[in-house]
Amino acid sequence: MKRRAFTLIELLVVIAIIGLLSTIAIISTSGSRDKARIASGISFERSIHEAMGASLAAQYDFEEGSGATAGDSSGNGNNATLSGAPTWGTDTYGVGSKYSMSFSGGNYVAPAKAFGVGNGNYTIMAWVKTTSAIGQMYFVGNDAGGNGYRFGLGGGSIAFLIGNGLGNTEGNCGAQKANDGKWHHIAGVFSRTGLSFTCYMDGHALSTITLPSAYAGATDIAARIGTSYCCSTFTGQLDDVRVYTQDLTLSYINSIYNEGKDRFAFADAEAAFLGRDGKNGT
């Protein structure tokens, strides 16, 4: 009996089918990872607010969707005006958010008053989406000369500055990148009492920078959101920017895991993001 060999066309068809199936599998896996990453960020954000909500100084969720004002949903009345025409958009990180704000070319959002963190601890967090890799791309800051604070990205990774005019510390906090064109939740925690600055991305601690000073007496003038008073302008999108007048301590992080709150919050966030609560419908 003669065996019938595969023709070249048949082999090419088989190879094409295998390639297509592999691509579908990769895309499916990538999508699942993105959903899990965002769910982790949502869980982290919720857990922090549960612990430190009383110290929330300002929150800009940009849910107005239009107009020249971004309201402060913290209840503290620190509403902000749009300067240079940043644009509203519907591309958001997901659950509970309908709108975000896009920045380019030096436009920004200007809160009416300072956050009250000149001589205390603070936590700044936001959802960020960008592809820019330029340096010193701060998107929350009140400093132009080493006196105050800046927080954002530098070369794609989390960057900060803290100082009081007599001295300052500036640098990147970990090497992990957030400029891949996807939404990431990032947070920076400055502890004057602990002389440290700690960065988080998507619910995970990246690194802690030890500071040489508490930088007492730093200026507490009103900040800008979407750019700083100096440096490179932020290019990208922001959503749900929050400032707390409290630092996220290691003891609280431990308590989340010890009490199981993080697991419950993660499950809740994941269920919401995957549409099990009927909001997302995916």
Return the structure tokens found at 95: 């659950």
Tell me how far CA of residue 128 lies from CA of 13, 199, 226, 275, in angstroms: 42, 14, 11, 22
- Let me know: does 158 contact 173? Beta carbons within 8 Å: yes
pTM of the model: 0.81
Q: What is the pLDDT of residue 12?
A: 67
Q: Please report, in tens digits, the pLDDT of each residue of the chain (282 residues total).
A: 555 555 666 666 666 677 666 655 554 455 688 889 899 899 899 988 888 899 999 999 999 999 999 999 999 999 999 999 999 999 999 878 999 999 998 899 999 999 998 889 999 999 999 999 999 999 999 987 899 999 999 999 999 999 998 999 999 998 899 999 999 999 999 999 899 999 999 988 899 999 999 999 999 999 999 988 888 889 999 999 999 999 987 666 666 555 544 444 444 443 444 343 333 333
User: Rounded to an integer, what distance in angstroms lies between the CA atom of residue 153 and that of residue 140?
Assistant: 10
8-52 and 261-273 helices cross at what angle (nearest 10)?
130
- Let me know: does 243 contact 123? Beta carbons within 8 Å: yes
User: Rounded to an integer, what distance in angstroms lies between the CA atom of residue 173 and that of residue 190?
Assistant: 12
Return the structure tokens found at 40: 């982790």
Query: Which residue in 47, 190, 184 sits closest to 126, CA to CA?
Result: 184
- For residue range 202-223, what is the model confidence (pLDDT) as tens digits? 988 899 999 999 999 999 999 9
User: Rounded to an integer, what distance in angstroms lies between the CA atom of residue 123 and that of residue 248?
Assistant: 7
**Second CATH level (architecture) for the domain 55-254:** Sandwich (2.60)
**273 CB-side CA count, 13 A:** 22
| DSSP at 121 | -
User: Rounded to an integer, what distance in angstroms lies between the CA atom of residue 230 and that of residue 258?
Assistant: 42
Tell me how far CA of residue 92 lies from CA of 24, 63, 64, 85, 225, in angstroms: 25, 11, 13, 19, 17
Nearest 5°: the CA angle 198, 80, 222 is: 55
